[in-house]
Amino acid sequence: MNPIVDQRLPLLYHYCRIQRPRLLLNYAQFVQHAQRMYERSRHMQPDLEWNQFFGQWQALDAFLVAACMERYDAAWEQLFCARVGRADRLLLDALRARAARLYPRQELEQDSAVNDFWGHLLVPPNEGSLPILARYDGLRPLVPWLLRVFQNKNISHLRSPSQHAAGLAEDDQLESPVQTDERTSSVWHELFRDAARGWLSTLNNQEIVLLGLRWRYQLSQREAAQLLKVHEGTLSRQIDKLRDRCVEEIQQQLETQGWAEDDLQGYILNEMASVMLDDSRLSLASISQRLKQMGIENVKPPE
């Protein structure tokens, strides 16, 4: 389907105008940028159909980007004031925090990285390349995408000699969504593992045993309660408190580091298994020894 003839576009345009009343983007501009973002998406995903794109399109973020590219002052004000994650920090502050981690104790480099990034939002870094905002396809939330681009742009700079980095092609500096996500994921995975290992080190013997029975021995809640001779409801509350504390403490550390993605809780709960697998205190041998010290024997490990 040609975006121009999609009857849903006028409705979506008016919705965006209501949600962002200060952005005076006209309908023709809106359609033009919708087409551009769709073509950008198809550059990365050749088989992407318009209806698929439309169903995933982050319309309000795309509307803001389009208004910025049309140089509406109000759009830039809104971009400057965009908030990052649950920490509710300004986007500019989150960029500065990331620059501080990338260039520790190098204030000039930190300022240069942030200023250079803002400067290239509308002005291409090299002749024949695209400005950063022109590369936004509207399929991902804008603020996390900008943070990923900033992170990868500077990682690329740090890993390359300065004279080589200056001559890198546009697609080397600002990678495809898959490349960007892979590299950013590896950075966050290491930060998460550090935070998770730190949290596990704070657990007492009772908590270690409880995790071991539920996770290593794969006992049901009822079976674990019977083994420990406690009421199932009591055990359930202990497990809930342990899970909530895990999520809260690790989440706080990652958000302090600048995490801006959605569903951080889901990420933590999904990734904890790999960290626990590597923790010697949660090995079958360690849990078995702790159970023996508690007078509990003959607990069969999972087959």
The answer to whether 223 and 230 have CB atoms below 8 angstroms apart is: no
Helix pair angle (8-19, 59-69), 10° resolution = 80
Together in a domain, 31 and 104? no
Under the banding of pLDDT at 50, 70 and 90, the label for residue 162 is: very low
Domain ranges, residue 279: 182-293
For 171-204, how does the pLDDT look when each residue is reduced to its tens digit (9 = 90+)?
Answer: 434 444 434 344 445 566 777 888 888 899 999 9
**52-99: pLDDT as tens digits:** 899 889 999 999 999 999 999 999 999 988 887 655 578 888 888 888
Distance, CA of 171 to CA of 156 (rounded, Å): 11
Which of 149, 175, 201 corresponds to the end of one domain?
A: 175
Residue 295 neighbours by CB distance under 10 Å? 6
Give the total number of structural domains in the chain: 3
Distance CA 273, CA 106 (A): 37
pLDDT digits (tens, 9 = 90+) for 202-244: 999 999 999 888 888 888 889 899 988 999 999 999 999 998 8
The lowest-confidence range among 12-16, 23-27, 44-48, 265-269 is 265-269
For residue 157, being part of any structural domain is answered with yes
- Looking at the structure, do residues 22 and 66 belong to the same domain, yes or no? yes
Residues contacting residue 259 through CB under 8 Å, at least 6 positions apart: 85, 87, 188, 251
**Buried b / exposed e along 106-140 (16+ C-beta atoms within 10 A):** eeebbeebbeebbebbeeebeeebbbbbbbbbbbb
Q: To the nearest whole number, what is the mean pLDDT of the chain?
A: 82
End position of a domain, from candidates 49, 78, 107: 78
Q: How confident is the model at residue 160 (pLDDT cuts 50, 70, 90)?
A: low
Are residues 64 and 94 both part of a single domain?
no
Q: Is the pLDDT of residue 128 over 80?
A: no
- 301 domain residue, yes or no: no
Query: Given pLDDT bands bounded at 50, 70 and 90, which one contains residue 259?
Result: low
How confident is the model at residue 79, as a pLDDT? 92
Boundary of a domain, candidates 175, 190, 218: 175
Dihedral of alpha carbons 38, 39, 44, 46, sign? positive
Residue 97's alpha-carbon distances to 129, 138, 180, 182, 292, in angstroms, are 27, 25, 19, 21, 48
Q: What is the 3-state secondary structure (H, E, C) of the chain?
A: CCHHHCCHHHHHHHHHHHHCCCCCCCHHHHHHHHHHHHHHHHHHCCCCCHHHHHHHCCHHHHHHHHHHHCCCHHHHHHHHCCEECCCCEEHHHHHHHHHHHHCCCCHHHHHHHHHHHHHCCCCCCCCCCCCCHHHCCCCCCHHHHHHHHHHHHHHHHHHCCHHHHHCCCHHHHCCCHHHHHHHHHHHHHHHHHHHHHHHHCCCCHHHHHHHHHHHHCCCCHHHHHHHHCCCHHHHHHHHHHHHHHHHHHHHHHHHHCCCCCCCHHHHHHHHHHHHHHHCHHHCHHHHHHHHHHCCCCCCCCCC
Is the pLDDT assigned to residue 300 strictly greater than 70? yes
Q: How confident is the model at residue 161 (pLDDT cuts 50, 70, 90)?
A: very low
Residue pair 91/84 in contact (Cβ under 8 Å)? The answer is yes
Query: Given pLDDT bands bounded at 50, 70 and 90, which one contains residue 269?
Result: confident
The pairs formed by 14-19 with CB atoms below 8 angstroms and a separation of 24 or more are 15/59, 16/59, 16/60, 16/63, 19/60, 19/63
Q: Does 18 fall in a domain?
A: yes
User: Which of 76-90, 119-133, 143-157, 199-213 has the least mean pLDDT?
Assistant: 76-90
Same domain, 61 and 112: no
Judgement on whether residues 171 and 92 belong to the same structural domain of the protein: yes
